[in-house]
Amino acid sequence: MAVSVSVFLGFFLGLVFVGLVSSAKFDQLFQPSWANDHLVYEGELLKLKLDHYSGAGFSSKSRYMFGKVTIQIKLVEGDSAGTVTAFYMSSDGPNHNEFDFEFLGNTTGEPYTIQTNIYVNGVGNREQRLNLWFDPTKEFHSYSLFWNQRHVLFLVDDTPIRVHPNMENKGLPFPKDQPMGVYSSIWNADDWATQGGRVKTDWSHAPFIATYTGFEIDACEVPASVAATESAKNCSSSGVKRYWWDEPTLAELNVHQSHQLKWVKARHMTYDYCTDTARFPVMPLECVHHRH
């Protein structure tokens, strides 16, 4: 295990503990996973292309438990209706865990929508949607997933937009025992992505291109040969071994982050599964205990 200095804004500031060396080089951390001919390399930039024939995707070379993963993305410009660009972490198998960022395309001039979702033991249906407070097609912005044994945190430019806490004390499962890969892709989803599928992909605007840079993973790398139960143990602090993501200051949001999250929900959230009584006549149990 290598040693790195992790200096992040907000609650990541000033921590120096055991972790995994971050990298800005795509090919050190990732590899194409499908449609290699739709991945374009331009120096430090990687572009994923969607056209009539195919989308494209890439995946991490390793699996991880706990830590922070960040990718800087410039989303598809112009009329991107029907397209989805995704950045997510996922384990394997039918009872997998998964943390999703999905960027839903729009017609020109409309705001981009981010949909987040969380799967625990193969069960999802925890969608939230929000509009961004900036145009994500003009500049690169960072999108991050932070994960420890206390919560999963979704961040945009280090602003928290969603927190999923560990509520095992309420009898609810929490994703803490399956190592996860890191993935991103672009594909056509015009059956649902834009205005519920009412607006279809206009292929005259193809190819649709999402551009990436700044690939960073500061997390506990898990060899494929290690059992999941051992992974959780090996990636948790004990004795003299201390991981930065286990520090008490990262067990919950600080006051500033709590205010940021409230602002995001009040100003930018457009859908929350917890309030969708048509889908869930009985409020999901995690929503009863924690509105997130």
Write the pLDDT tens digit of every residue in 24-39. 688 889 999 998 999 9
Q: What are the structure tokens assigned to 137, written together? A: 């097609």
Q: What are the structure tokens assigned to 141, written together? A: 């912005």
pTM for this model (two decimals): 0.89
The predicted model gives 162-170 an average pLDDT of 95
Is residue 193's pLDDT more than 90? Answer: no
Return the amino acid letter for 235. C
The structural domains of the chain, ordered by start, are: 24-289 (2.60.120.200)
Is residue 233's pLDDT more than 90? Answer: no
- Judged on CB neighbours under 10 Å (0-12, 13-18, 19+), 10 is middle
Per-residue model confidence as pLDDT tens digits over 1-18: 433 333 343 444 333 444
> What residues are annotated to the active site?
98, 102
pLDDT of residue 202: 83
Among 154, 135, 164, 130, CA closest to 267: 130
Helix, strand, coil % in the chain, rounded to nearest 5: 20, 40, 40
pLDDT of residue 22: 60
- Give yes or no for a contact between 150 and 165, defined as CB atoms under 8 angstroms apart: yes
Distances (CA, A) of 150 to 50, 170, 218: 37, 14, 17
Is residue 137's pLDDT more than 60? Answer: yes
Among 129, 148, 167, 151, CA closest to 236: 148
pLDDT of residue 110: 78
Distance CA 114, CA 229 (A): 33
Residue 90: how many other CB atoms lie within 10 Å: 18
Distance CA 108, CA 115 (A): 19
The predicted model gives 36-61 an average pLDDT of 93
